[in-house]
Amino acid sequence: MGAEFVALSLPPILIGVLVAVACALPGNFLLLRRQALIGDAISHVVLPGIVVAFLVTGLIATGPMLLGAAAAAVIAVIAIEAVRRLGRIEAGAAMGVIFTAMFAGGVLLLEQSDTSSVHLDVEHALYGNLESLIWLDATGWASLLDPAALAGLPVELPRMVLALVVIALFLWLFWRPLALSTFDEGFSRGLGIRTAPLGLALVIMSAIAAVAAFDAVGSIIVIAMFICPPAAARMMTNRLGHQVAWSVLFAALAAVLGYVLAGYGPLWIGANASVSAAGMIATVSGIILGVAAVAGPHRTRNS
Amino acid sequence: MLADALLLQLGYNATLVTIGAALLGIASGVAGTFLFLRKRALVSDAISHATLPGVGLAFIFMVVMGGEGRSLFGLLLGAGVSAAFGLLCVQWLADRTRLGEDAAIGAVLSVFFGFGIVILTVIQTMNAGRQAGLEGFLLGSTAGMLRSDAILLAVSAALVLALVVILRRPLGLAAFDPGYAEATGWSLPRVDLAMMGIVLVVTVVGLKVVGLILIVALLIVPPVTARFWTERADHVVIIAGVVGGVSGYVGAASSATAPALPTGPIVVLVGFAIFLFSLLFSPRRGVLASLLTHLRYQRRVHVRQGLLALAQGQPIYEVLTRRLLERAGLVLPDGVPTPAGQAAASKALLDETRWAIVRGDQAYALAATRYDGLTPIEDVLTPDQLTEVDGKIDAPQVVA
């Protein structure tokens, strides 16, 4: 546990935890509002956003790609709402129509354009590459205090910190109206809370989490973290505050445990390669949910 | 090239795949209709993502048993088993815990898919994994298929379609009128199980063609599209089948023209194009039709209010009202009514007076509910009733 750990494992673990927590926080409210699949839809449409941003600017740069992804997420949310209202179609089906079409468009654009020279492909978009986010400048724990070495940290780390701060700040500021409108929309509207913009703001926060996390870890872990930790936390308590706390704990646990299992697990059973960390983190979060669903104190509807 | 592909001129394999995709499209459109009407469209998303670990584990199992691991049948069998397990998990989470079905779907699809990715990375490190080509299951690839695979695909697509046709009656009943279905002796849970079974088979068969990420579109887009064109239950099913079949046929045919063209996205985009056309232009529920209806209504209100103003000798200031009346030849440019305008105005006033009496009289309570300020009263009352109403109109009194 020395220099090698700080350089190779610490940054990915930290990023994994940040991603997991940033997604799990808004996920709690999405879950309670029966909008859990919004996270699914958002993480699918991020791909076309990034591809279009790349085709327009011609470079793999963080700024335009994040903008493209965020724009795609907003367009998707608006399109889903438009299809639902204009066509009078149930929300789930409207979502299914829009996100599959946008994802298909993204894949087709990607295959048709010349992106062979850059690392932009569907597999990367789906399960990212957490393992590659290493910190080459680190020489040991002392590097954490060395400004020169800190400058060499993977750029995803500060970006995720920023996203997490924004999301946490949003939840802290709007906690009461959010909680009220989640549990009793009619009552909160009676109190004068504007529930529609608030709901949209929550979706935008989720999009920020998904977009910031996407580049580092891929879509699949984003969907898993939106749903599994809050769902497991829901089985543990009946209080919103406690549920959010549990979900943060579960998310962090899944990230750390998943990364360690993916990196070192195969070594323990004698294999000499590692498996996908993103996939393993999603798997661990599923196991946590499974345990909570079988043994959680508040797992049934009337407990 | 594209024309050749659409006319099935690209060789035996491509023809088989194209026909298979068309059959699959029809089957999924029909099966998807039942799913859509039961409001469980996105369950198919969980099922399709849950196939991935099965595909990977089946591959590993076949390699360990000494095979090559590329048998499509074996891979699809594995996919079916793990998809069924995923479906069970969704059911269990939704029924036995406090989670809603949407959360159960999201949890199962992400966890199973994540686990599938883990299995795929394991396979990559195995020696046989280099040419496994399991990524083709993500987005579908029909180019360069083996003949036996193409036959398997076409035959199983035909079988699914036959299954859907055989079970259409209980499925339709459960989708459109669950209460009646139960009253006539069908067990709703069992019909649901059969429906999920068909969706599962469609998903598994469609894996190689459309890919597991997008197969959900083949189940959702056709019924949603069909709903725009008809209000009749049996027609929705048929139209959904046609939309699905066309998407599958065109998608598979055009992707056969180039190896780099993944089949799934094209199938989905063809379906989406049909959906978009329907959303905009379908005659009754389409956006354009709604817009036209709205405009027509707006104009009728303007003309009616204008006529009432004319009848009472009031000047009209509203620009749209004046323009509409002028264009209909009811008033002259200076605002003076033409003879036709005077006649129409008196008629409107008479109509309104009769309505006022009808609405004030309890005996006509039912007819009064039809009042919207536009409906001519002759459409609502019989000539006899009209005579009776007219008797109650006060004759104009001369002011002393």
For residue B43, give the chain A residue with the closest CA.
Answer: A92
Q: Which of B102, B214, B263, B277 to mutate to test the interface with A (most CBs of A within 10 A)?
A: B102
B374: domain range?
Answer: 288-391
CB contact under 8 A, B114 and A280: yes
CB contact under 8 A, A104 and B121: no
Beta bridge partners of A284: none
Among B106, B117, B223, whose Cβ lies nearest the Cβ of A279? B117
CB contact under 8 A, A104 and B224: no
Written as one letter, the residue type at B67 is: G
CB contact under 8 A, A301 and B221: no
Over its length of 400 residues, how does chain B's per-residue pLDDT go in tens digits? 677 767 777 777 788 888 888 888 998 998 899 888 888 888 999 999 999 999 999 988 888 887 777 788 888 999 999 999 999 999 999 988 999 889 999 999 999 999 998 888 888 877 655 555 777 788 877 766 777 877 888 888 888 888 888 888 888 888 888 888 889 888 888 888 888 888 998 898 888 888 888 889 999 999 999 989 988 878 888 999 999 999 999 988 888 777 677 888 889 999 999 999 999 999 888 889 999 999 999 999 999 999 989 888 888 888 899 899 988 888 888 888 889 988 999 888 888 888 888 888 888 888 888 888 788 888 888 888 888 888 888 766 666 6
- Concatenate the DSSP letters of all residues of A113-148 into one string: S--TTTT--HHHHHH--GGG---TT--SGGGGG-HH
CB contact under 8 A, A279 and B228: no
A182 in B contact zone (CB under 8 Å): no
The answer to the question of residue A248 being in a domain is: no
Q: Once rounded to an integer, what is the mean pLDDT over residues A151-165?
A: 84
A102 in B contact zone (CB under 8 Å): no
Q: What is the CATH number of the domain that holds A129?
A: 1.10.3470.10
The answer to the question of residue B396 being in a domain is: no
The verdict on B33 and B146 lying in the same domain is yes
- Pick the last residue of a domain from B241, B257, B281: B281
Q: Is residue A175 pLDDT above 90, yes or no?
A: yes
Give every CB contact of residue A235 below 8 A, 6+ residues apart in sequence.
Answer: A292, A293, A296, A297, A298, A299, B97, B98
Q: How many CA atoms lie within 13 A of B177 on its CB side?
A: 9
CB contact under 8 A, B279 and A87: yes
The answer to the question of residue A298 being in a domain is: no
List, as ranges, residues 276-295 from A with C-beta within 8 Å of B. 276, 278-283, 285-286, 289, 293
> pLDDT at position A117, please?
56
Residues of B in contact with A123 (CB under 8 A): 135, 138
A27 pLDDT band, cuts 50/70/90, is: very high
The verdict on B7 and B50 lying in the same domain is yes
**Closest alpha carbon to B125 in A257, A268, A266:** A266
- Pick the last residue of a domain from B281, B314, B348: B281
Is residue B190 classed exposed, middle or buried when 0-12, 13-18 and 19+ CB atoms within 10 A define those classes?
exposed
Q: Is residue A148 pLDDT above 90, yes or no?
A: no
The answer to the question of residue B249 being in a domain is: yes
> pLDDT at position A144, please?
74
The verdict on B85 and B131 lying in the same domain is yes
Written as one letter, the residue type at B219 is: L
Most confident of A32-46, A101-115, A127-141, A219-233: A219-233
Residue A61 in tokens: 């740069």
> pLDDT at position B1, please?
64
> pLDDT at position A69, please?
85
Q: How far is A242 from chain B (nearest CA, A)?
A: 17
Which H helix or E strand runs over B126? none
> pLDDT at position A234, please?
92
Distance, in Å, from the CA atom of B309 to the CA atom of B327, rounded to the nearest integer, reads 17
CB contact under 8 A, A123 and B138: yes
The answer to the question of residue B397 being in a domain is: no
Residue B337 DSSP SS3: strand
Q: How far is B182 from chain A (nearest CA, A)?
A: 24
The verdict on B277 and B238 lying in the same domain is yes
Residue for token pair 């180019």: B143
CB pairs under 8 A between A and B: 200
CB contact under 8 A, A37 and B265: no
**In this predicted model, what pLDDT tens digit does every residue of A247-301 receive, in sequence order?**
999 999 999 999 999 888 777 776 667 788 888 999 999 999 999 999 888 888 8
Q: Which of A19, A115, A227 to mutate to test the interface with B (most CBs of B within 10 A)?
A: A227
Distance, in Å, from the CA atom of A86 to the CA atom of B297, rounded to the nearest integer, reads 18
CB contact under 8 A, B139 and A226: no
- Pick the last residue of a domain from B281, B303, B318: B281
CB contact under 8 A, B139 and A122: yes
A23: domain range?
Answer: 3-213
**In this predicted model, what pLDDT tens digit does every residue of A69-78 receive, in sequence order?**
888 988 998 8
Write the ipTM.
0.91
Beta bridge partners of B337: B331
> pLDDT at position B80, please?
93
The answer to the question of residue A71 being in a domain is: yes
pLDDT: which is higher, B225 or A138: B225
The verdict on B375 and B328 lying in the same domain is yes
The answer to the question of residue B400 being in a domain is: no
Is residue B77 classed exposed, middle or buried when 0-12, 13-18 and 19+ CB atoms within 10 A define those classes?
middle
Q: Which of B36, B42, B117 to mutate to test the interface with A (most CBs of A within 10 A)?
A: B117
> pLDDT at position B398, please?
67
> pLDDT at position A166, please?
94
The answer to the question of residue A191 being in a domain is: yes
pLDDT: which is higher, A221 or A3: A221
A184 in B contact zone (CB under 8 Å): no
The answer to the question of residue B71 being in a domain is: yes
The pTM (predicted TM-score) of the whole model is 0.86
Residue for token pair 């009346």: B325
Residue A226 in tokens: 């939106």
Most confident of A116-130, A131-145, B184-198: B184-198
Distance, in Å, from the CA atom of B111 to the CA atom of B96, rounded to the nearest integer, reads 19
> pLDDT at position A165, please?
95
Give every CB contact of residue A139 below 8 A, 6+ residues apart in sequence.
Answer: A3, A6, A7, A149
Q: How many CA atoms lie within 13 A of B85 on its CB side?
A: 14
The answer to the question of residue B156 being in a domain is: yes
Number of domains in chain B: 2
For residue A222, give the chain B residue with the closest CA.
Answer: B110
The answer to the question of residue B133 being in a domain is: yes
Q: Once rounded to an integer, what is the mean pLDDT over residues A40-50?
A: 86
The answer to the question of residue A173 being in a domain is: yes
Q: Is residue A45 pLDDT above 80, yes or no?
A: yes
CB contact under 8 A, B117 and A282: yes
Please state which of the ranges A134-148, A195-209, B170-184 shows the lowest mean pLDDT: A134-148
A30 pLDDT band, cuts 50/70/90, is: very high
Taking CA atoms, B288 is separated from B96, B221, B278, B299, in Å, by: 45, 20, 10, 17
Distance, in Å, from the CA atom of B94 to the CA atom of A256, rounded to the nearest integer, reads 28
Distance, in Å, from the CA atom of B97 to the CA atom of B95, rounded to the nearest integer, reads 6
The answer to the question of residue A261 being in a domain is: no
Q: How far is A145 from chain B (nearest CA, A)?
A: 35
The verdict on B333 and B201 lying in the same domain is no
The verdict on B377 and B321 lying in the same domain is yes
Residues of B in contact with A83 (CB under 8 A): 279
**Closest alpha carbon to A35 in A207, A159, A286:** A207
Residue A217 in tokens: 């870890």
Determine the Cα angle at B196 with ends B195 and B202, to 5°: 90
Q: Which of A32, A40, A100, A114 to mutate to test the interface with B (most CBs of B within 10 A)?
A: A100
Distance, in Å, from the CA atom of B1 to the CA atom of A289, rounded to the nearest integer, reads 51
Q: Which of A35, A257, A283, A300 to mutate to test the interface with B (most CBs of B within 10 A)?
A: A283
> pLDDT at position B396, please?
66
How crowded is residue A193: how many other Cβ atoms within 10 Å of its Cβ? Answer: 18
Q: What is the CATH number of the domain that holds B168?
A: 1.10.3470.10
Distance, in Å, from the CA atom of A120 to the CA atom of B109, rounded to the nearest integer, reads 24
Among A111, A223, A299, whose Cβ lies nearest the Cβ of B98? A299
> pLDDT at position A17, please?
93
Q: How far is A61 from chain B (nearest CA, A)?
A: 26
Are A25 and A230 a contacting pair, CB within 8 Å? Answer: no
Beta bridge partners of B200: none
* DSSP at B283: T
Among A86, A111, A279, whose Cβ lies nearest the Cβ of B260? A111
Q: What is the mean pLDDT of chain A?
A: 85
The answer to the question of residue B399 being in a domain is: no
Note the residue count of chain A. 303
Distance, in Å, from the CA atom of B278 to the CA atom of B272, rounded to the nearest integer, reads 10
The verdict on B224 and B294 lying in the same domain is no
Are A24 and A189 a contacting pair, CB within 8 Å? Answer: no
The answer to the question of residue A189 being in a domain is: yes
The verdict on B325 and B254 lying in the same domain is no
* DSSP at A158: H
The verdict on B244 and B195 lying in the same domain is yes
Number of domains in chain A: 1
The verdict on B260 and B338 lying in the same domain is no
The verdict on B322 and B230 lying in the same domain is no
> pLDDT at position B130, please?
54
Q: Once rounded to an integer, what is the mean pLDDT over residues A121-150?
A: 73
CB contact under 8 A, A123 and B287: no
